[in-house]
């Protein structure tokens, strides 16, 4: 009799241990039940993103010629006004000298015309010459003035073209690729730029949100300007999966919806003091939203079938109902944030859901009682070894 009693205890302990999170706790059909109560939860949305410098300037030549000197290297930090390239300037220097000679000639002709005009005015006053001669002298003087102005304009243009042979950085930044080498012929119509200067002190990260999200955001905040100012900080997940150490801020939203994708372009700015981020890189923008009245259900309490999620809701008669719930698409891997199907105050089964069927009668126990029975069962099982 004693031997049979020991076998019964061992069998009971084995049943309690083997059920664990999968079955009923005891033969009395007891299941742990939890009441739904709102709690704080963080929602996370992720968007593919492209990283660019806050100012990416393509450097293109304004004049045609062979590159005679490259003064920078790829990745080099430069300042505004720093010399980047030198284009063959012999032709343009000659054009400056020619334009200067034209200015000198026009200036001499103007001096002569002025003397003639001044003399003609005296002769006309003394009635030595007539009105025709006087007007001719005046016209010649004015024409000489115009020719000098034209020559000076040509000189300015020639000097400007010569200055274009010395390609300088328009802003502070970092040098991009250098597709052309010394000796290459370039012009304003060249397909590729000489290089790109990227200001990467602050980075702009481009991502897209769908039209529905933007409408909800705008309506909630009372307008897009307010929505941008009140938008929570955003985070950047880098290509290697790590999270960038500095948080960003949404700065701009496109006013046009892309008809092809139905999305709106959003730009977030991130500080880049370590120059870790590079223009042209990729990553993902992570947006976190806190919901202080969320219904959170552990994934272990649910059953997934044909892309639908179900739980067992416990009624007042202690019968379970196989109930479909809707959840946020984003989750932390362990819990669902429920958007429909169950509400605060209702009860659901937390363990043993694979043993239940719709309409089954159960004996509810608390999760604490469930944990206590598990511990007792494990203890009895250890005693029999």
Please check whether the domain covering 89-164 is classified as CATH 1.25.10: no
Digit-coded pLDDT (tens) for 253-291: 888 888 888 888 999 999 999 889 988 899 999 988 777
Interatomic CA distance for residues 281 and 273, integer angstroms? 16
Nearest alpha carbon to residue 303 among 356, 340, 362, 371:
356
Picking from 189, 186, 195, 193, the residue whose alpha carbon sits closest to that of residue 165 is 186
- Tokens 């981020």, located at residue: 277
What digits encode the pLDDT tens for the residues 137-151? 999 999 999 999 999
* CATH code 2.40.30.170 for 45-54+195-290: yes
Note whether 20-36+302-383 and 89-164 share their fold.
no
Selection from 91, 90, 89, 101 nearest residue 152 by Cα: 101
CB 84 within 8 A of CB 186: no
* CATH of segment(s) 20-36+302-383: 2.40.420.20
* Its pTM surpasses 0.75: no
Of the pLDDT bands very low, low, confident and very high (cuts 50, 70, 90), residue 383 is low
What's phi and psi for 382, nearest 5 deg? -70, -35
Residue 205: partners with Cβ closer than 8 Å, 6 or more residues away: 49, 50, 51, 52, 236, 248, 267, 268, 269, 270, 283, 285
Report the distance separating Cα 16 and Cα 334, nearest Å. 25
- Residue 384 burial (CB count, 10 A): 12
Would you kindly state where each structural domain of the chain is located, as residue ranges?
20-36+302-383, 45-54+195-290, 89-164
- Give the integer Cα–Cα distance in Å for 22 and 31: 10
């Amino acid at each position: 009799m004693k031997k049979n009693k020991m076998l019964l205890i061992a069998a009971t302990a084995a049943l309690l241990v083997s059920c664990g999170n999968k079955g009923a706790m005891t033969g009395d059909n007891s299941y742990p039940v939890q009441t739904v109560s709102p709690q704080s939860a963080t929602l996370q949305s992720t968007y593919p993103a492209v990283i660019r410098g806050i100012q990416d300037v393509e450097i293109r030549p304004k004049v045609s010629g062979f590159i005679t000197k490259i003064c920078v290297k790829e990745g080099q930090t430069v300042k505004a006004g720093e010399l980047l390239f030198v284009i063959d300037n012999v032709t343009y220097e000659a054009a400056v000298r020619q334009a200067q000679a034209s200015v000198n000639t026009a200036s001499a002709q103007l001096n002569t015309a002025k003397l003639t005009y001044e003399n003609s005015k005296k002769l006309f006053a003394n009635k030595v010459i007539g009105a025709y001669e006087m007007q001719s002298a005046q016209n010649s003087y004015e024409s000489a003035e115009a020719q000098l102005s034209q020559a000076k304009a040509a000189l300015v243009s020639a000097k400007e073209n010569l200055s274009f042979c010395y390609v300088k950085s328009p802003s502070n930044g970092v040098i991009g690729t250098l597709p052309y080498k010394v000796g290459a012929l370039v012009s304003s119509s060249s397909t590729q730029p000489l290089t790109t200067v990227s200001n990467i002190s602050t980075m702009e990260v481009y991502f897209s949100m769908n039209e529905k999200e933007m409408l909800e955001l705008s309506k909630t905040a009372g307008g897009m300007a307010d929505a941008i100012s009140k938008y929570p900080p955003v985070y950047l997940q880098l290509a290697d999966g790590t999270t960038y150490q500095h948080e960003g801020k949404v700065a701009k939203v496109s006013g046009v919806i892309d008809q092809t994708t139905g999305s709106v372009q959003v730009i977030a700015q991130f500080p880049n003091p370590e120059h870790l981020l590079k223009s042209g890189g990729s990553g993902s923008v992570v947006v976190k939203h806190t919901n202080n009245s969320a219904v959170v259900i552990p994934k272990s309490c649910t059953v997934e079938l044909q892309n639908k999620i179900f739980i067992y809701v416990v009624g007042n008669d202690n019968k379970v109902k196989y109930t479909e719930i809707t959840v946020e698409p984003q989750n932390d891997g362990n819990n669902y944030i429920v958007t429909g199907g169950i509400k605060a105050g209702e009860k659901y089964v937390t363990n043993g859901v694979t043993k239940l069927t719709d309409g089954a009668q159960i004996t509810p126990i608390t999760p604490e009682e469930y944990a206590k029975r598990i511990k007792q069962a494990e203890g009895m099982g250890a005693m029999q070894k």
